[in-house]
């Protein structure tokens, strides 16, 4: 972790145990929270638009007493291909995972093309990843190329 | 059932491989083919020129036209009948259960019991792909909104192949409405995939959309954009003309100006280089003057004829009737 990031870390209180999702694209923290689906007994701290040496600006998410599952990590990549997930136990990082965009994104994004069949019939959306960072995906149905700033969660 | 097409030599190894791959598959998008597969496919199509044996005797084509179409529908029907098969279907979504709220995929699950191969035209983009996923029958995309019309693209390529002997290394000019024209979009992409140079001639308001230009750049295509036909004409091997629709213009005067500037007549085409051909997906309105029809350069009515040949080949391939 770079010095700039360490400074940013200090902007948010330390976590005893749980998960830290760092380096989300700015403005994506709330979407990430929605995507993870926080259980009722967990607490979340959100950092929005924090300064970052690596990204300029970033969002961060701290989830107390809650460890996110590997399949959720994959889904998070849609909200920030540079994001990392740290698992914390007793104030110590026990594992750090770099998110990786899967080759195919299913049932996660809505196609922004109003004429796409997926916006009219009950069809599970599917996007093939054409390029990683900045992410570019192609709708499996209408074949439109969609950039990450157009991503809309289902 | 007869075991294969009678015209031409036995299939080459490369052709046999493609024949095997296409058996029972779908034709949804021109993107599904690699450039070498497109060339091989055009070679197979050639075997379907003229009379063909009744390869699809007893087979039924389901023609599901959720959107009006005359040429594409009749061309598919003609192709199926000429292969000895029959056709069921509809040409108006108003008479289907779609009006009762049935989903497209449910419609397909019903219709697949009535036929062996399905062609679908639908106003929604991606509808043909969704349809293909709902059925085990081969599905052919007959146009899905502004997205793809692969059989039109294949018949365009076949026309170029027949006239000029190749579909690569050419300079192809596209003229007219490049913003909304689906036929042009599809062919632009296929022509780029095949390694042709493109000249995109359109008024500023009807240029190829930027996302399509990005796709061309991603394919490593060589292309130029211009609004003037004059200097372009003598440089191209193919001039692909599209219809400019009045409803695209807010001001009728703008439409008149553009229409006059992009009209092709006999005098215009005679300035083309030797062997240059003029194509059009049809219907034409004023873009090509009837005086061009008698020119040896006019290839647009041949496109319609080639449409049946291409569709015969595709139906036979999908049904596994080519051996």
* Domain harbouring A120, CATH code: 2.30.30.20
Which residues span the domain enclosing A130? 104-153
- Report the alpha-carbon distance of residue B102 to residue A117 in Å, rounded: 14
B32 interfaces chain A, CB cutoff of 8 Å: no
- pLDDT for A16 beyond 50: yes
B94 three-class SS = helix
Q: What kind and span of H or E run contains A63?
A: strand A56-64
Q: Cβ atoms within 10 A of the Cβ of B7, count?
A: 13
B222 three-class SS = strand
CB contacts < 8 A (A, B): 54
Q: Cβ atoms within 10 A of the Cβ of A137, count?
A: 24
Which residues are within 8 A (CB) of A56 and not within 5 positions of it... i.e. 6 or more apart? none
Q: Mean pLDDT across chain A, nearest whole number?
A: 87
Enter the tokens of residue A132.
Answer: 């990683």
B54 within 8 A of B3, measured Cβ to Cβ:
no
Per-residue confidence at A6, pLDDT binned at 50, 70, 90?
Answer: low
Model pLDDT, residue B43: 96
Q: Are residues A89 and A21 in the same domain?
A: yes
Report how many helices (DSSP H) and strands (DSSP E) chain A contains, helices first: 3, 11
Enter the tokens of residue A112.
Answer: 């922004």
Chain A residues near residue B125 by CB distance under 8 angstroms: 113, 115-117, 141-144
Q: Are residues A45 and A84 in the same domain?
A: yes
- Highest mean pLDDT among A98-107, B56-65, B91-100 belongs to B56-65
Count the helix, strand and coil residues of chain B and give each as a percent rounded to the nearest 5.
Answer: 45, 15, 40
Q: Are residues A25 and A93 in the same domain?
A: yes
- Report the alpha-carbon distance of residue B275 to residue B297 in Å, rounded: 7
- Given its phi and psi angles, is residue A125 left (phi above 0), alpha (psi -120 to 50 degrees) or beta? beta
Query: A147 to chain B: nearest residue by CA?
Result: B211
Of A10-19, A118-127, B202-211, minimum mean pLDDT range: A10-19
Mean local confidence (pLDDT), B256-279: 91
B175 three-class SS = strand
Q: Are residues A19 and A33 in the same domain?
A: yes
- Residue B211: which of A120, A141, A145 has the nearest Cβ? A145
A67 three-class SS = coil
Mean local confidence (pLDDT), A44-62: 92
- pLDDT for B292 beyond 50: yes
Per-residue confidence at A11, pLDDT binned at 50, 70, 90?
Answer: low
For residue range B56-86, what is the model confidence (pLDDT) as tens digits? 999 999 999 999 888 899 999 999 999 999 9
Which residues are within 8 A (CB) of B247 and not within 5 positions of it... i.e. 6 or more apart? none
Q: Tell me B10's DSSP state.
A: P
**Nearest chain A CA: its distance from B128 CA (Å):** 8
B148 interfaces chain A, CB cutoff of 8 Å: yes
Q: Cβ atoms within 10 A of the Cβ of B284, count?
A: 16
Per-residue confidence at A116, pLDDT binned at 50, 70, 90?
Answer: very high
Query: B134 to chain A: nearest residue by CA?
Result: A123
Put simply, the answer to whether B105 touches A123 (Cβ < 8 Å) is yes
- Report the alpha-carbon distance of residue B261 to residue B227 in Å, rounded: 10
Number of domains within chain A: 2
- pLDDT for B1 beyond 60: no
Q: Are residues A93 and A109 in the same domain?
A: no
Q: Cβ atoms within 10 A of the Cβ of A84, count?
A: 17
Mean local confidence (pLDDT), B94-100: 72
Q: Are residues A72 and A133 in the same domain?
A: no
For residue range B149-202, what is the model confidence (pLDDT) as tens digits? 999 999 999 999 999 999 999 999 999 999 988 889 999 999 999 999 999 999
More confident residue, A53 or B2: A53
Domain finish residue from A98, A120, A135: A98
**Nearest chain B CA: its distance from A55 CA (Å):** 26
Query: B129 to chain A: nearest residue by CA?
Result: A141
Nearest residue to B127 via CA among B178, B67, B62, B169: B67
Q: Are residues A75 and A110 in the same domain?
A: no
Q: Find which of B101, B103, B126 to mutate to test the A interface (most A CBs within 10 Å of its CB).
A: B126
Q: Are residues A90 and A109 in the same domain?
A: no
Q: Could you tell me which residues of chain A have a Cβ less than 8 Å from any Cβ in chain B?
A: 113, 115-118, 120-123, 139-145
Model pLDDT, residue B144: 94
Establish how many alpha carbons lie within 13 A of residue B186's alpha carbon, considering only the half-sphere containing its beta carbon: 28
Chain A residues near residue B124 by CB distance under 8 angstroms: 115-117, 120-121
Q: Find which of B108, B125, B147 to mutate to test the A interface (most A CBs within 10 Å of its CB).
A: B125
- Residue A117: which of B104, B146, B214 has the nearest Cβ? B104
Angstrom distances, CA of residue B166 to CA of A121, B40, B158, B160, B191: 41, 12, 9, 7, 11
What's A85-137 look like in SS3? EEEEECCEEEEEEECCCCCEEECCEECCCCCEHHHCCCCCCEEEEEECCCCEE
A82 within 8 A of A132, measured Cβ to Cβ:
no
Question: Which CATH fold topology does B151-304 show?
Answer: Rossmann fold (3.40.50)
More confident residue, A4 or B258: B258
Q: Are residues A21 and A89 in the same domain?
A: yes
Which of the residues of B are catalytic?
Answer: 71-72, 100, 121, 149
For chain B, the domains span 13-147+306-318, 151-304
Q: Are residues A127 and A53 in the same domain?
A: no
Q: Are residues A138 and A85 in the same domain?
A: no
- pLDDT for B141 beyond 50: yes
Per-residue confidence at A154, pLDDT binned at 50, 70, 90?
Answer: confident
**Nearest chain B CA: its distance from A119 CA (Å):** 9
Enter the tokens of residue B104.
Answer: 């497209």
Domain finish residue from A98, A119, A136: A98
Model pLDDT, residue A2: 46
Nearest residue to B125 via CA among A29, A8, A67, A145: A145
Mean local confidence (pLDDT), B295-308: 97
- Residue B146: which of A115, A117, A118 has the nearest Cβ? A115
CATH architecture of residue range(s) B13-147+306-318: 3-Layer(aba) Sandwich (3.40)
């Amino acid at each position: 972790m770079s010095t700039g990031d360490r400074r940013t870390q200090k902007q948010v209180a330390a976590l005893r145990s749980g998960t830290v999702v760092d380096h989300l694209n700015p403005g994506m923290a709330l979407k990430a929270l929605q995507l993870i689906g926080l259980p009722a007994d967990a607490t979340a701290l959100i950092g929005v638009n924090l300064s970052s040496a690596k990204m300029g600006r970033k969002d961060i998410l701290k989830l107390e007493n809650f460890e996110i599952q590997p399949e959720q990590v994959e889904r998070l990549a849609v909200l920030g291909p540079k994001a990392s997930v740290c698992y914390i136990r007793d104030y110590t990082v026990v594992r750090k995972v770099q998110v990786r965009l899967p080759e195919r994104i299913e049932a996660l994004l809505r196609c922004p093309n109003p004429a796409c069949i997926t916006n009219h019939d009950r069809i599970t959306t599917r996007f093939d990843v054409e390029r990683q960072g900045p992410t570019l995906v192609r709708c499996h149905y209408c074949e439109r190329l969609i950039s990450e700033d157009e991503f809309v969660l289902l | 059932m007869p075991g294969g097409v009678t015209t031409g030599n036995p299939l080459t190894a490369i052709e046999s491989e493609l024949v095997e791959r296409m058996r029972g598959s779908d034709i949804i998008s021109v993107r599904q083919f690699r450039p070498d597969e497109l060339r091989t496919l055009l070679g197979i199509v050639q075997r379907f020129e003229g009379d063909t044996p009744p390869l699809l005797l007893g087979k039924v084509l389901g023609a599901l036209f959720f959107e009006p179409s005359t040429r594409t529908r009749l061309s598919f029907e003609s192709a199926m009948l000429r292969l000895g098969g029959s056709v069921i279907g509809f040409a108006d979504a108003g008479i289907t259960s779609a009006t009762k709220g049935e989903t497209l995929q449910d419609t397909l699950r019903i219709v697949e019991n009535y036929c062996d191969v399905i062609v679908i035209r639908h106003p929604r983009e991606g509808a043909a792909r969704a349809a293909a996923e709902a059925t085990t029958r081969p599905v052919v995309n007959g146009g899905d909104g502004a997205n793809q019309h692969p059989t039109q693209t294949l018949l365009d390529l076949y026309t170029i192949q027949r006239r000029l002997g190749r579909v690569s290394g050419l300079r192809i000019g596209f003229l007219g409405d490049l913003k909304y024209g689906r036929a042009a979009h599809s062919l632009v992409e296929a022509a780029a995939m095949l390694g042709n140079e493109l000249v995109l001639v359109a008024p500023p308001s009807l240029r190829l959309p930027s996302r399509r230009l990005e796709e061309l750049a991603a394919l490593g295509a060589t292309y130029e954009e211009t609004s003037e036909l004059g200097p372009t004409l003598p440089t191209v091997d193919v001039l692909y003309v599209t219809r400019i629709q009045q409803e695209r213009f807010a001001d009728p005067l703008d439409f008149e100006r553009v229409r006059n500037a992009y009209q092709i007549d006999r005098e215009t085409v005679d300035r083309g280089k030797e062997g240059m051909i003029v194509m059009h997906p049809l219907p034409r309105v004023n873009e090509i003057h009837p005086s061009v029809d008698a020119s040896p350069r006019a290839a647009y009515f041949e496109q319609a004829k080639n449409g049946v040949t291409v569709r015969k080949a595709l139906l036979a391939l999908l049904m596994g009737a080519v051996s």
